[in-house]
Chain A
Amino acid sequence: MGHATTWKEAAKIENSRYHTFFNLAMFLAVLTGIEIVIIFLPWATWLVMGGLIVLSVIKFFAVILWFMHLIYDKILLFWLFMTGMVIATGTMIALMLLFSYEDVDEEAIASVDPVVQMVA
């Protein structure tokens, strides 16, 4: 970020950010609203799923870039954080792919007492 050299300048920079932050907060609220609505729409599963993922990613980046100042700060911070994000996301995806229902040993689990069954 451009450093303010006087308090006046600092105030100017921060005041201009107020509107950015306000608009962003409203934007995020709207996106959350859209997320809540689309899950009840009779769309194809992949479409809703895709929509949710895209919206969450947008929200995620909006927060880290503006609220967390990454867009104003040194680019190094962005890459440091993204390193963690990429490793975490990659590990998550790999783990998800490694597990499948075929691996479940139904017989081993079958010995459990059934919990109260649904009525009606």
Chain B
Amino acid sequence: MATSANPPLDEKLLERIHADQNTNTGIENKKLIMWLFLASDCMFFGTLISTHLIYRKLYPFGHPQEGAVNITGTFDIELTSFSTFILLMSSFLMALAVSAMHKGAIQSFRNYTFGVILFGLVFLGGQVYEFQHFFHGQGWYEWKATAPDGQEVVGNEANGRYFKDVASAAAAKESFLHEHYGVKIESFAAQKPNEFKYKLKLPSKTGGEPMIFTGVYEYHPEAHHAEDGESYLKPREAFKHDNFGFTLDEFKQVKQVPGLSLQNSVFGSTFYVMTGTHGTHVAIGILWLFSMLVFSYTKNFSVINAVDVEIAGLYWHFVDIVWIVIFTVVYLVEYIPSA
């Protein structure tokens, strides 16, 4: 099965590999110590998961007060399922990488390991995205505004499109005002000094024809001496901050999923520390495999290192089984009603 990039298969090498198994138990020292470490790590994650589950049991809302966190609202089960799948497949590739080393196929080992690292990075990326998302929370808003020509415009906004912070509706409104109702500037041209003609497009929320607004905007630089220290805004920039001449009549939050942080709830503390520890394990695994991959291009690497690859693989699979448990007892059970 070896490709041309692989070293010649040497029977002596194979004998040397087996010499490592010449111990009392017939198990290589490195493999035995890895398994002991994993057995110990069971207790490590067991304690973390226990902490999480105990607090889940004590506080049905994830916190003594209702409303501090909204667990299923925070979770994004599609994304997490995808991450789970990716990690599972990385485990499959890892098994193949170990297998390749056992038959002396170093080039296929490299290919598979590259795949594992890639999948591991995707998983980590998913976790980073997820953490950011969870931290900022989500909100849904309804608003009513009057256009310069007197037209009434209504709409709603979901968090994530325009607002980053939804901890308070006031902050969201502030942010909203700066985000211009979702309008697009079609054209913006100077007519006279300090006067600009514009055309705006407001996409319809219901999928109908977009609304078009046109108007004239007067620009007075001295009026825009910004509070944040930025001196004179450019016309177009200043124009944005004037909200196109729209006036906001109503802005209200209809639904909110508060952000989840380490500090704002018990659930946040246990969730981030537990999944963060798992993520750290994944990151260490990636670093380890990457080092192994680089090392495989040096002269000191040979099929003798099959056992080194195998223990890195054991570590990687363990990280996967920990995720199997976390995915079930931390994510999935939250969706069972009255659980």
Which one of A35, A101, A116 lies within 8 Å of B258 (CB-CB)? A116
B36 with A80: CB separation less than 8 A: yes
User: What 0/1 pattern do residues 311 to 339 of B give for CB contact below 8 A with A?
Assistant: 00110011011001101110011011111
Taken together as a complex, chains A and B put the C-alpha atoms of A83 and B99 apart, in Å, by 27
Chain A residues in 8 Å Cβ range of B258: 115-116
Chain B residues in 8 Å Cβ range of A84: 38-43
A14 with B92: CB separation less than 8 A: no
Chain B nearest CB from A115 CB (Å) reads 4
Bin chain A's interface residue count: 35 or more
Chain B residues in 8 Å Cβ range of A5: 14
Chain A residues in 8 Å Cβ range of B49: 92
**Sampled A-B contacts (6; CB under 8 Å):** A4-B102, A13-B103, A14-B102, A73-B27, A73-B31, A84-B41
- For residue B77, CB closer than 8 A to chain A, the reply is yes
| Contact (A87, B43) CB under 8 Å given A29-B88, A52-B332 | yes
| Contact (A39, B1) CB under 8 Å given A25-B88, A56-B328, A63-B324 | no
Taken together as a complex, chains A and B put the C-alpha atoms of A24 and B92 apart, in Å, by 8
Which one of B27, B65, B325 lies within 8 Å of A114 (CB-CB)? B65
* Chain B, Cβ-Cβ closest to A55: B328
Q: A25-B88, A25-B91, A101-B58 are in contact. List 12 more A-B contacts (CB 8 A).
A: A3-B21, A10-B14, A14-B99, A17-B99, A52-B333, A64-B321, A80-B35, A87-B42, A88-B43, A89-B46, A116-B256, A119-B253
B320 with A63: CB separation less than 8 A: yes
User: What 0/1 pattern do residues 84 to 118 of A give for CB contact below 8 A with B?
Assistant: 11011101100110011101101001001011111
Taken together as a complex, chains A and B put the C-alpha atoms of A45 and B334 apart, in Å, by 11
| Contact (A56, B337) CB under 8 Å given A67-B95, A68-B314, A104-B58 | no
Which one of B104, B264, B335 lies within 8 Å of A7 (CB-CB)? B104
* Chain B, Cβ-Cβ closest to A113: B65
Chain B residues in 8 Å Cβ range of A109: 64
> How many A-B contacts are there with CB distance less than 8 Å?
201
Chain A residues in 8 Å Cβ range of B298: none
Chain A residues in 8 Å Cβ range of B58: 99-101, 103-104
B335 with A63: CB separation less than 8 A: no
- For residue B50, CB closer than 8 A to chain A, the reply is yes
Complex interface residues of chain B between 146 and 165 (CB less than 8 A to chain A): none
Taken together as a complex, chains A and B put the C-alpha atoms of A56 and B333 apart, in Å, by 12
A25 with B333: CB separation less than 8 A: no
| Contact (A63, B43) CB under 8 Å given A25-B88, A32-B81 | no
B168 with A116: CB separation less than 8 A: yes
B46 with A88: CB separation less than 8 A: yes
| Contact (A112, B64) CB under 8 Å given A77-B35, A96-B57 | yes
- For residue B282, CB closer than 8 A to chain A, the reply is no
A68 with B317: CB separation less than 8 A: yes
B91 with A67: CB separation less than 8 A: yes
User: What 0/1 pattern do residues 52 to 85 of A give for CB contact below 8 A with B?
Assistant: 1101100110011011110001101100110111
Chain A nearest CB from B41 CB (Å) reads 8
Taken together as a complex, chains A and B put the C-alpha atoms of A60 and B338 apart, in Å, by 26
Taken together as a complex, chains A and B put the C-alpha atoms of A60 and B327 apart, in Å, by 12
Taken together as a complex, chains A and B put the C-alpha atoms of A33 and B165 apart, in Å, by 33
| Contact (A115, B46) CB under 8 Å given A39-B336, A99-B57 | no
A114 with B43: CB separation less than 8 A: no
Chain B nearest CB from A100 CB (Å) reads 8
- For residue B26, CB closer than 8 A to chain A, the reply is yes
Complex interface residues of chain A between 14 and 49 (CB less than 8 A to chain B): 14-15, 17-18, 21-22, 24-25, 28-29, 32, 35-36, 39-40, 45, 48-49
Chain B residues in 8 Å Cβ range of A22: 92
| Contact (A48, B53) CB under 8 Å given A18-B96, A36-B77 | no
A63 with B336: CB separation less than 8 A: no
A106 with B324: CB separation less than 8 A: no
